[in-house]
Amino acid sequence: MIKRIILPAFAAALLFGLNGAPGSSAPESDPIQKLKTTTSFCGAHTGFAGVKGASYLAYEQALKEGAKIRKGLDDVLVNGSPAGRLYAAMLIRKLDKDAGDKALKSLLSEKAEVDYCLGGCGIIKYTVGEAAKQLLSHTSDPLSDQAAGE
């Protein structure tokens, strides 16, 4: 009985608590550093409760900082985790659609895997290239609050 409760709870803590997915409460003070190391690419509302995870909160914080963090985004695009590179490309796209599309296209050949969750409880493993291709097909920001509810 205990194993049935503890193992799923431990797995959920590892999946959601340590990698910035649902259940986290606040972004780190430096959104660029958080995005550079995040392991999941999630939209505004994920998980059963539809909460914003730490990675998404860092994305929102970076979005508020706007163009002044562009240099940091370029660094994440090159040196970040697979999920971080996707977030950086989407943030660049928010600042400059053409530059963001170019950033996403630069990721199309990436074979690294990323946990991809744009709404609900489902987490799908995609390569960065597959995720970039899917993101390029969106005309609006699939990460936003509005898109997550569509």
Residue 17, pLDDT score: 44
In which band, very low, low, confident or very high, does the pLDDT at 116 lie, cut at 50, 70 and 90? confident
Type of residue numbered 70: R
Residue-level pLDDT at 121: 64
Query: What is the per-residue pLDDT for 38?
Result: 93
CB-based contacts of 24-27 (< 8 A; 24+ apart in sequence): 24/53, 24/54, 24/55, 24/57, 25/54, 26/54, 26/57, 27/54, 27/57, 27/58, 27/60, 27/61
pLDDT digits (tens, 9 = 90+) for 53-110: 888 899 999 999 989 999 999 999 999 999 999 999 999 999 999 999 999 999 999 9
pLDDT of res. 68: 93
Q: Is the pLDDT of residue 6 over 80?
A: no
Per-domain residue ranges of the chain: 2-149
